[in-house]
Amino acid sequence: MRIAYLVNQYPTVSHTFIRREILALERLGFEIFRIALRDWGGELLNPEDQRERERTHIVLQAGALALLMAVIRSLLTQPIRFMRALMLTWKMSRRSERSFPVHLVYLAEACRVEAWLREWDVHHLHAHFGTNSALVAMLAHVLGGPQWSFTVHGPEEFDKAQSIGLAEKVRHCAFVVAISSFGRAQLYRFVEHRDWPKVNVVHCGLEPAYSSQPVGAPNAVRRLVCVGRLSGQKGQLCLVEATAILAARGLDFELVLAGDGEMRGEVEALIARHRLQGRVRITGWISSEQVREEILASRALVQPSFAEGLPVVIMEGMALERPIISTFVAGIPELVQPGEHGWLVPAGDAEALGRTMQACLEAPADELARMGKASHKRVLERHNVDTEAARLTTLFRGVGSGRRHA
């Protein structure tokens, strides 16, 4: 069975979960075509990501002329379908934050994608994220492409459910995937009750090999690590405030912020304001192997998120037998049970976060080891990528070939 995966940008350093899913489907015998609307453009440090870039077809890579030719070809060869897609494009633009001309670009992208799908004889199209990649997938289907589906991660899709036309996309798709029960419930909020049966839960997964090597007990060093894009929803500013509280109490420890992002300047300014330069280190973008090394060199993983889907890095930390400090947000409590696998605190509460970080720093080694072992067991039970990919295959096959409209 031939499946095309459509993502806004792929591969990127933050989309390893998509790469894992694609490779797991290929191990199960599926032929996967990778499509990205645009190239990420950043440096890819992971060799697997570099190989994925070579295998990915970029819609905008050939420029505006290629899009224009795709539109003309679609209009001339299937005018009725093209007009239907144009009407849907207008409908989707009416509530959107983006103008109708921008949506016309999405339609042009869909024309090019649909031509590729026809050329490759693709049986099903699957998009990741419910934003513009899902819109392009929907339009490609209306233009005559195969049945399609998409995975919703959150929180962006839920923050802008009305403006991105989330309910309309669910109406048009064969099925939709949520990565947690929380995500499923959020979809239920925005879609019609008759479309609820389309919503399925399939977790993001880890390869068994990720944790196959012995990792040992949590490091005795007084170091905590936070992994993720430096952004408002990830809560790093609150984490720096909590670090300042503990520094004022005289606690000796190090905090590593592994990642980069749009808020790096603001985070660095807050670190300087509290004079924490000797305690807080920002790594910038690093490879998957370097992330693994930073987690293994830590006592625990801290993710002070304000808004999430279900962070893959929490799964990675648990697979590496590290306790987790995180927040009661989205799908996180479905995986991390307080007292068993670490600690959960109210989001945005720097005082509570500081107290919990101190409790972790002062916890005896046997307690940290117990949490680490329990974390490892739980994440392998719930987030094995091959198990989750098998669930996806059932959904793909259940749709049938559905190659194109009659």
Write down all domains in the chain, each with its CATH number in brackets.
2-205+385-399 (3.40.50.2000), 208-382 (3.40.50.2000)
The whole-angstrom separation of Cα 257 and Cα 265 is 13
The C-alpha atoms of residue 147 and residue 142 are separated, in whole angstroms, by 9
Measured distance CA(270)–CA(314) in Å, rounded: 25
Q: What is the pLDDT of residues 87-106, one digit of tens each?
A: 999 999 999 999 999 999 99
List C-alpha distances in Å: 26 to 22, 179, 200.
6, 20, 21
Nearest to 193 by CA among 167, 154, 156, 175: 167
Other beta carbons less than 10 A from residue 234's beta carbon = 25
Per-residue pLDDT tens digits for 22-78? 999 999 999 999 999 998 877 787 788 889 999 999 999 989 999 999 999 999 999
pLDDT in the model for residue 399? 87
> Helix crossing, 385-399 with 16-27: angle to 10°?
70
Element (H, E) at 335: helix 332-335
Whether the ω angle into residue 11 lies within 30 degrees of 0, i.e. cis, is yes
Taking the alpha carbons of 333, 338, 341, 344 in that order, is the dihedral positive or negative?
A: positive
pLDDT given at position 400: 65
Tens digit of pLDDT for each residue in 318-342? 999 999 999 999 999 999 999 999 9
b/e map of 391-400 (b: 16 or more CB within 10 Å)? Answer: ebbebbeebe
Question: pTM here?
Answer: 0.92
Given this model, what pLDDT does residue 257 score? 98
Report percent pLDDT > 70 for the chain. Answer: 98
Residues of the chain with pLDDT under 70: 211, 214, 400-406
| Residue 55 to residues 10, 49, 116, Cα–Cα distance (Å) | 10, 10, 14
Q: Any idea which residue has 């520094």 for tokens?
A: 247
Confidence at residue 207, expressed as pLDDT on a 0 to 100 scale: 85
Strands of the sheet with 199-201, listed across from one edge: 56-58, 31-38, 2-9, 124-128, 147-152, 175-178, 199-201
Strand partners, 338: 342
* DSSP H/E element including 326: strand 324-327
Look at the alpha carbons of 263, 268, 273, 274 in this order and tell me if their dihedral is positive or negative. positive
CA 11 to centroid of chain Cα atoms: 12
